Structure 1
Amino acid sequence: MNALRATLRGFGEICITAGLVLLLFVVWQLWWTDVTAAHAQSQQTEQLQKEWADLPPHPSPSSTATPTSPATPTKLKEIPLGDAFALIRVPRFGHGYVRPIIEGTSLDVLDRGVGHYADSAKPGAVGNFAVAGHRVTYAKPFNRIDELKVGDPVVVETADTWYVYRVVGHEVVTPDRVDVVAPVPEHPGQKPTERMMTMTACHPKFSARQRYVVFSKLEQKIAKSPGVVPDVLRG
């Protein structure tokens, strides 16, 4: 009988220890990664802005986005995987919302910010500028992606240009639907003529069963200069 009690007591202690370990893991996964990632992403944002401020002035591009022939795409330099190269602002997510956009979509990249599908178009270019972000953990940049509505602005900032996209629709798809990030979203193989942006995130929250996808179209590009900010970011 004493041996049985000892066995049960030992088993109970193991269960309690396992429960505490599991609880600590959940706290780390759902809270602490948000704290550390938010701080890191804020630092990355500040670093990128500082680097841009130190650059020489760029030639002023047109303030209005107009389609160009897909035979003469915009020439943009290649971006090394893992490098931050742009910032994304979404007024629907709050006045102070800003996250770095980093080249690549591996897990280590997504843990640091919004990831850019490396084979997709660059910001403002003809084609599909496609990005992905976490909905939970690691500062969850796309946590509220399902709140975006048609007509909402999504602003991408690069070293010399503001790009203002407008949401045109959304869809929930299975993870194998890679056609949503094709040059012409959902129409792989077609030659693009428009400047699109696609945002993707896991759906529903705390699950990777599906993907929530938001499509936007470029409305305006604005040359960066002191004091110049897109109207959608004012107020």
Structure 2
Amino acid sequence: MLELEQESGRTAHSRRGLLLRTIHIAGELLLTVGVIVLLFVAWQLWWTNVASDARQREAVHDYARGIGTAAPAAPPLPSAVAPEPAVAPEPAEGATIGILYVPRFGADYTRPIVQGTTPAVLDTLGIGHYQGTAMPGAVGNFAVAGHRQTHGAVLDHIDALVPGDRIYVQTREGYYVYVFRNSQTVLPSRTDVLLPVPMRPGAAPTESYLTMTTCNPRFGSEERFVAYALLERWQSLSAGPPAEISRAARAAGEG
């Protein structure tokens, strides 16, 4: 009888030991997983921004320097006979279309605008142009997309735009000045915001729109935040940059 009790005690002790070891191992695994998750979050919110910022600055400087070495445009005509905005053809995937300046996002804010909205573009090069939408200055909808919190956070402060804010696009043809009008949040399925006249299927455009899209909320992707602007004017490169972005444009070319 005593031997049975001793054997039972040893079995219970062994089971308790096994349980404690299992709990210890599970705790270590959970701690490891927690560290991995924290490292992943840090990578997403910090390192991708650092790496993308460097690539985007380089792309802006390369493009601006390329424009600087190009043949100068014809002198601007008097405003009374100013031509229609020059419009370039849509380029191949991955080609740089121009530079985006948004003073509301910071006096030195500059980002490259690149053809396409694939991860290869948005995760490294900043602002992506939706293929098939209008080009800068054209009648219709010049629609672009960008990340809000990662990979450069190019549109992080899109909700800070105020009606009347200027948004500038520089290309090899000139500077296009858009005026922010309004914004809205929609579901990701609302692709009608990319139509020639946003949200009006079948309507023929008579104005030049700029539509910027990004994820909403800032740390999620359940919705899309959409900002709309209208073309106010344009000027050739030979006229120099608009005063509001002259310092940023000069810095872009000197980088």
Confirm or deny a common fold (TM above 0.5): yes
Tell whether 2:19 aligns with 1:7. Answer: no
Give the match for residue 144 of structure 2.
131
Supply the distance in 2 between the matched residues of 1:37 and 1:63 (Cα, whole angstroms).
41
Q: Find the partner of 1:58 among 47, 64, 73.
A: 73
CA contact (8 A) 2:211 2:228 kept: yes
Q: Find the partner of 1:143 among 135, 139, 156.
A: 156
Q: Find the partner of 1:94 among 101, 106, 109.
A: 106
4+ runs deviating over 6 angstroms: 65-68
The 3 A distance-change label for structure 1 pair 209 and 198 is same
Tell whether 2:208 aligns with 1:195. Answer: yes
Supply the distance in 2 between the matched residues of 1:134 and 1:63 (Cα, whole angstroms).
40
* RMSD (Å), alpha carbons: 2.1
The 3 A distance-change label for structure 1 pair 77 and 201 is same
Instruction: Give how far 1:66 is off.
Output: 7.9
The 3 A distance-change label for structure 1 pair 63 and 108 is farther
Q: TM-score, normalised by structure 2?
A: 0.84
Supply the distance in 2 between the matched residues of 1:123 and 1:84 (Cα, whole angstroms).
12
Percent identity reads 40
Give the match for residue 78 of structure 1.
90
Tell whether 2:221 aligns with 1:211. Answer: no
Q: Which amino acid aligns with 1:28?
A: W
Give the match for residue 45 of structure 2.
30
Q: Which amino acid aligns with 2:221?
A: A
Q: What SS does the aligned partner of 2:238 have?
A: coil
Supply the distance in 1 between the matched residues of 2:95 and 2:136 (Cα, whole angstroms).
15
Q: Which amino acid aligns with 2:189?
A: D
Q: TM-score, normalised by structure 1?
A: 0.91
Q: Deviations over 1:198-229 (max 9, x none)?
A: 11111111111111111111111011127x22
Larger CA Rg, structure 1 vs 2: 2
Q: Deviations over 1:120-156 (max 9, x none)?
A: 0000011111111111101101000001011000000
Q: What SS does the aligned partner of 2:27 have?
A: helix
Give the match for residue 173 of structure 2.
160
Supply the distance in 1 between the matched residues of 2:82 and 2:118 (Cα, whole angstroms).
33
Aligned residues: 230
Instruction: Give how far 1:232 is off.
Output: 2.7
Instruction: Give how far 1:233 is off.
Output: 2.1
Supply the distance in 1 between the matched residues of 2:157 and 2:63 (Cα, whole angstroms).
24
